[in-house]
A and B are shown apart, each in its own frame.
Chain A
Amino acid sequence: MGLYLLPAALFLAVLALYPFIELIHMSVSQVSSDNIFGDWPFIGTAGVQAVAVTADFREAAVNSLIYVGLVVGVGLGGGLAAALVLWRGGPLSGFTLALMVFSWALPGLINGVDWRFLLDPRGMVDTILSVARVAPVYWLVEGRLPLVSVALVNAWTVVPFATLVFRAALLDMPGEVLAAADVDGARPRQTLRYIVLPLLRPTILVLTILSLLYAFKSFDFIYIMTFGGPGTASTTLPFLSYRLAFEIYKFSDGAAVAVITLGLTILMALVYLRSVHREERA
């Protein structure tokens, strides 16, 4: 079986694992545009420690938490609601599902461009609001709105995926249990609360982890819709890492932020798994 693994392992060793090790190497070195092609002096964790106390880092960390929270919360909540609406079939549900999954399948680039215009003061959202005589909202400009807007657009593309997974889990559910609840006269809300949700628990767990890991590294939507701005208002950790390296050429600072981001991502996933585990034993 080793032979089946070898090509992929060799390829990844050179083009993924080596870059990954170089990233860590860069984060413990002093690298700027002067010596990017020369020697990298070793500075240990000093760089990581220095970058972690900057105001930019703290802002980006807070932004990342808000971003991840919105993508996971809205993505899963919306997906569950959509799956409950669609899973029993009906004339339009197949079409609706296909329409939703199409927006998941489109690259973030195209969804990002589309929504950048839809959220423009001349775009769809403000035009609809103007019918209700609401003054134009500058979604991608004002205060925390840009961060929230981009996160919600990203969540909009996560919802269809979550819907598919929840739908599959609902279809797998033992029909007799639901039928029994019906016979016992349970209201739909009670069936949902006491039967459906507990059965969906493993699915919710897996989806939470997947969307958490995905949201933490999300980059495309921010690049296309706000480029981290205005100023740093929508700069999350992966985007801060990009800006440090490619706007001001502090390569090692960028690498340090990337490494901290990875550490935080893994930590969040482990803390979540642990809390779930503890709850299960309690």
Chain B
Amino acid sequence: MTRSLVARTGTGLLILLYGLPFVWLVATSLKSDTEIFSATGLIFEPTIAAYQTVVNSDLLHACVNSAIIAAGTTLLTLVLATPAAYALARVKGLLVNVGLGSLILLQITPQPATLIPLYRVLGGWNLLGTQLGVVLADTALLLPFCVLIVRPFFLSVPQEVEEAGVVDGASRWRVFWQIVLPITLNGIATGATIIFFIAWGEFLYAITFLSDPAQYPISVLIAGQIGMYGIRWSNMMAIAVVASLPILAIYAFTHRLLRDGLALGSVR
């Protein structure tokens, strides 16, 4: 086989492997219950019955809750992570090793292991049952990851650029704010996108720390129903499609950023 034939076959396989699951997801959401049971594959009469059932004010409310939690988490994480990542890219020595080591240790701790201690901390602050509590927990979960993603972008800023600013008499803060940040905007946007996506899909903290269904994000609606007996798949898939739409919308604008930014973040 020639190289181009191998490449074409491989590309075709990859498109099937990564496209078909989403096509099937959407197709299932457009099926009636009888058609799901008769396993009709992709040839069927589409109906929007499932969407008529699931898209109501409760679901839209859950989407708003998700947006509040995910946007709040992204904002707070960036505010804390960006200066920390900058410092860890500029300072050298023991402090950096201790800092990076602790971040990695927190990063590899399984999420459920933090549930009980966090429950106690948030309870002590009367933040259980509030979305602010979930935002704080999500930020604690994602902050180490965000620092590790953004730091390589600061490392790639040449020192001379900053020294030029210092020579011109700018304060350290002005150098950071007006010279370094604009250059590293891609990295910060990469971090923001990833943090938003993960926070949008986070369900374990939300399901544990929230008690009022009116505050549930859409991820909790999905995770809470998935184990139930006699689950209606067309409805479930319709909710999953609705939950994916915001991600798809953001991804349409940021996929080039992610493509180039992720590789940078992990290799350094």
Contacts and interface: CB of A to CB of B under 8 A. Distances in A.
Contacts, number: 261
5 contacts: A2-B87, A85-B10, A113-B240, A124-B20, A126-B39
B255 interface: yes
Interface string A93-122: 101111111110111111001111110101
Nearest to A93: B11
A110 B140 contact: no
Contact of A5 (B7, B84, B140): B84
Given A82-B10, A109-B201, A114 B15 contact: no
Contact of B203 (A7, A84, A109, A245): A109
A92 B112 CA distance: 41
A168 B258 CA distance: 12
A25 B174 CA distance: 43
Contacts of B194: 105
A245 B24 contact: no
Interface in B212-268: 219, 222-223, 226-227, 233, 236-237, 240, 243-244, 247-248, 251, 255, 258-260, 262-264, 266-267
Contact of B28 (A3, A16, A117, A246): A117
A8 B222 contact: no
Contacts of A281: none
A262 interface: yes
Interface stretch (A143-151, A203-211, A272-280): A203-211
Given A97-B259, A109-B219, A16 B11 contact: no
Which 6 A/B pairs are nearest by Cβ-Cβ distance? A107-B201, A168-B263, A19-B117, A85-B10, A258-B113, A8-B84
B99 interface: yes
Given A5-B84, A206-B266, A207-B266, A88 B7 contact: yes
B109 A217 contact: yes
A102 B88 contact: no
B179 to A, nearest CB: 15
Given A7-B84, A8-B83, A107-B201, A96 B20 contact: no
A81 interface: yes
Nearest to B88: A5
Contacts of B21: 103, 114-115, 118, 124
Contacts of B83: 3-5, 7-8
Contacts of A246: 112, 115
A90 interface: yes
Contacts of A18: 117, 121
A217 B266 contact: no
A152 to B, nearest CB: 11
A204 to B, nearest CB: 11
Given A88-B7, A90-B7, A99-B19, A110 B263 contact: no
Interface residues on A, range: 35 or more
Nearest to A229: B227
Contact of B251 (A26, A105, A242): A105
Interface in B106-163: 106-118, 120-121, 136-137, 139-141, 143-144, 147
B201 A110 contact: yes
A271 interface: no
B51 interface: no
Interface stretch (A44-52, A53-61, A219-227): A219-227
Nearest to A160: B18
Interface string B167-197: 0000000001000000000000000011001
Given A99-B18, A167-B263, A107 B197 contact: yes
Q: Name which of A19, A217, A239 has the most chain B CB atoms within 10 A of its CB.
A: A19
Contact of B113 (A92, A156, A241): A241
A251 interface: yes
Given A117-B236, A202-B267, 20 more contacts: A4-B176, A5-B83, A7-B83, A15-B121, A16-B143, A20-B109, A90-B7, A103-B21, A105-B193, A109-B201, A110-B222, A110-B243, A110-B244, A118-B25, A124-B20, A168-B260, A188-B3, A217-B110, A262-B108, A262-B110
Given A101-B259, A103-B21, A238 B121 contact: no
A66 B237 CA distance: 30
Contact of A15 (B104, B139, B263): B139
Contact of A11 (B105, B139, B223): B139
Contacts of B86: 4
Contacts of A219: 110-112, 204
A123 interface: yes
B6 interface: yes
A238 B112 contact: yes
Nearest to B202: A107
Contacts of A99: 14-15, 18-19
B36 interface: yes
B37 A217 contact: no
